[in-house]
Amino acid sequence: MPKRYFNIAGPCFEKKHYMVHASERGGGEILDFIDKEYYFVIHAARQSGKTTLLLQMIDYINRDKKYYALYCSLEAVQEFKEPEKGIPEIVNRIKTSIKEQGLPDGFAKEADYSDVSGVLKSSLVDYCRLLDKPLVIFFDETDCLSNGTLITFLRQLREGFVSRNMVPFVHSIALVGMRNIRDLTNERVSWSCLHEHDRANEETEGYRTRSDTLHYKAKIRPDSDTLGSASPFNIVSKSVSLPNFTCDNIAELFITHTVLTKQLTEKQAIAYIFEQTKGQPWLVNAIAREIVEDILKEDYSKSITRDMVETAIQNLILQRPTHFDSLLERLKEPRVRKVIEPLILGGETEDEFSDDYLYVRDLGLIREENDNTIPANPIYTEIIIRFLSANPQKSILKNYKDYTIPRYLKTEGSNCKIDIDFLLRDFQNFWRENGEIWVNRYDEDIYQYKEAAPHLVLQAFLQRVTNGGAQINREMALGTRRADLCIIYNDQKYPIEIKLMQNHKTIPEGLEQTFNYMQKCGADQGWLVVFDRGTEKSWDEKIYMRPEEYKGKHIIIVGT
């Protein structure tokens, strides 16, 4: 039987790679849209399997022989800012795709490229006249088109759509990208779910969205222009967001691997992969590949365990592959900072329909769970914190070489534990000496995450100290007014709550939150670190350690 691999570069192909079938990721719904002649949108974050799904759909549709299906990537059109160049290039991309994929010849043979506002529509009309079956087109990377090119592209699709009863045109179109195409225009591009015979008598101008319709005007990729045209486009369709893998999907990947290689995977390993990735496809495949190829060196006689998953995750974080780098670069963008900085602090941000919030969500950095906004998965939480705290970590490594885990270990009977009180006293002294310096650096040099500087410097300090063998689990959510982390060493858990001093309610609220987090961690002792950024108190007043008994739990309040 042919060998397969866990793929982390480009689309997956069934004969070469382990993959989840299209039917598990919305393929059936997409076929239903096509049968109903919908024009629709598919959107999802980077490296989440969009192109793989499209190629699976193209293959299935063409083998079914009911329609001609065409895949056309518009990524190469990104550099053309104006429609005078962009639209002819789109026509050429369609022409090339038809030739490469073996569809009938004849597209754009008499195209008038000087007619920028009509050449795409007329070429598609002429081509559909030649075909003996309806045409379905999946336009990939649609969201990379710039300003006028996108507007002109969409208008011509609309013109063809509304006249389909009279003039042959594309049966069904999918616009695919990282962002929902309707959210890219200053007046929202409206895609609803009616098919053409329901709208045959509608005015070609379509319906304008109301003035209070929310939208975003962001750049989609570096150097691409935003859309600012009035009355750009109005057409009818559905919008589909591509789901991540389920735990069952991940299990199926490993079952296929077991069938082909006889290598077993523990159930705990699969559950832990899902817990840490939340099914993000690239992460799932990267962890599996790291274990099979790098940790086990393709020794299929050894089972894949939960510990191997943890090792693979830490290896990937240290390697910082391109997938991580592309996400981390986004943290430098002001509109991303507006969402991520409050997330680190547990603060408030704009509502979930704001431009910035929707942009960050579509990047795949955040998600909603139980009415909370949290990082998309625990791995992204870790790389966000490590990236934003990297500079103070390096400084601590250079200037405080003895601040490592052996310094803080103490023996109690047969157990070796971390002396968290001692560790946090060292941090208090470090913060007193260096806090203002780092706050200023975060304001001036480190992407302007000034408000989150206390949290990030503490995270850097703890990361540096615990690199000698401890583990840190981190939790963040918007609106909670706190950040949680738990240090784990020798099966001992040390929960720490981090808050900014706001008013007289901060500490009572923090005690309750620390208690709840201790309950979650299963710990009898916890620490509440409170940063007082006010100027009216002296350092001697701000810095203290005070034990509290709260609901039968021992909590140390650490003033900083």
Instruction: State pLDDT tens for residues 234-292.
Output: 564 678 889 999 999 999 999 999 999 999 999 999 999 999 999 999 999 999 999 99
Q: How far does CA 90 lie from the centroid of its chain?
A: 28
- Residue at which a domain ends, from 188, 210, 241: 241
pLDDT at 342: 94
Q: Cα(484)–Cα(513) distance, rounded to whole angstroms?
A: 9
pLDDT at 237: 61
Judge residue 325's burial from the number of C-beta atoms within 10 Å of its C-beta, 0-12 exposed, 13-18 middle, 19 or more buried.
exposed
301-319 burial, b if ≥16 CB within 10 A, otherwise e? eeebbbebbebbbeebeee
Whether residues 198 and 294 share a domain: the answer is: no
The token duo for 54 is 């499209």
pLDDT at 197: 36
pLDDT at 2: 60
In a domain, 499, yes or no: yes
Find where tokens 């270990």 sit: 409
In a domain, 274, yes or no: yes
Higher-pLDDT residue of 362, 121: 121
Q: What share of the chain is helix, strand, coil (3-state, %, to 5)?
A: 45, 15, 40
Whether residues 272 and 332 share a domain: the answer is: no
Whether residues 179 and 289 share a domain: the answer is: no
- Would the pLDDT of 84 be above 50? yes
- Would the pLDDT of 325 be above 50? yes
Whether residues 283 and 332 share a domain: the answer is: no
Higher-pLDDT residue of 348, 66: 66
Q: Cα(139)–Cα(191) distance, rounded to whole angstroms?
A: 16
CA angle, residues 148, 150, 156, in degrees to nearest 5: 100
pLDDT at 350: 63
In a domain, 445, yes or no: yes
Average pLDDT, the chain: 88
Residue 37's pLDDT band (boundaries 50, 70, 90)?
Answer: very high
In a domain, 1, yes or no: no
pLDDT at 317: 95
The token duo for 376 is 């998309």
CATH number at residue 271: 1.10.8
Under a CB-based contact definition with an 8 Å cutoff, are residues 190 and 207 in contact? Answer: yes
In a domain, 8, yes or no: no
- Would the pLDDT of 92 be above 70? yes
Least confident of 215-224, 293-302, 455-464: 215-224
- Provide the domain limits for residue 484: 325-559
Q: Strands 409-412, 239-241: parallel, antiparallel or unpaired by DSSP?
A: unpaired
Of the segments 44-48, 208-212, 342-346, 469-473, which one has the largest average pLDDT value? 342-346
Higher-pLDDT residue of 403, 90: 90
pLDDT in tens, 166-200: 999 999 999 999 877 655 553 333 333 333 333 33
pLDDT at 479: 85
Dihedral sign for Cα 501, 502, 503, 507, please.
negative
Whether residues 175 and 295 share a domain: the answer is: no
In a domain, 224, yes or no: yes
The token duo for 290 is 């790291």
Whether residues 234 and 312 share a domain: the answer is: no
pLDDT in tens, 533-542: 988 999 999 9
- Residue at which a domain ends, from 241, 266, 290: 241
The token duo for 117 is 């506002």
Whether residues 333 and 473 share a domain: the answer is: yes
Least confident of 321-325, 374-378, 408-412: 408-412
Least confident of 74-88, 232-246, 338-352, 445-459: 232-246
Partners of 374 in the β-ladder: 367
Letter for the amino acid at 340?
I
CATH number at residue 179: 3.40.50
Least confident of 55-69, 138-152, 347-361, 515-529: 347-361
Whether residues 494 and 546 share a domain: the answer is: yes
Under a CB-based contact definition with an 8 Å cutoff, are residues 24 and 221 in contact? Answer: no
Segment 349-362 mean pLDDT: 83
pLDDT at 414: 77
Whether residues 128 and 264 share a domain: the answer is: no
Element (H, E) at 256: helix 247-261
Whether residues 339 and 219 share a domain: the answer is: no
pLDDT at 241: 85
pLDDT at 433: 95
- Residue at which a domain ends, from 274, 304, 319: 319
330: alpha, beta or left, given left = phi > 0 and alpha = psi -120 to 50? alpha
Whether residues 419 and 315 share a domain: the answer is: no
Of the segments 113-122, 183-192, 197-206, which one has the largest average pLDDT value? 113-122
Whether residues 105 and 43 share a domain: the answer is: yes
Q: Strands 366-369, 372-375: parallel, antiparallel or unpaired by DSSP?
A: antiparallel
- Would the pLDDT of 208 be above 50? no
In a domain, 2, yes or no: no
pTM: 0.86
Least confident of 219-228, 368-377, 400-409: 219-228
Our count of domains for the chain comes to: 3
pLDDT at 179: 78
In a domain, 11, yes or no: no
Q: Cα(369)–Cα(394) distance, rounded to whole angstroms?
A: 34
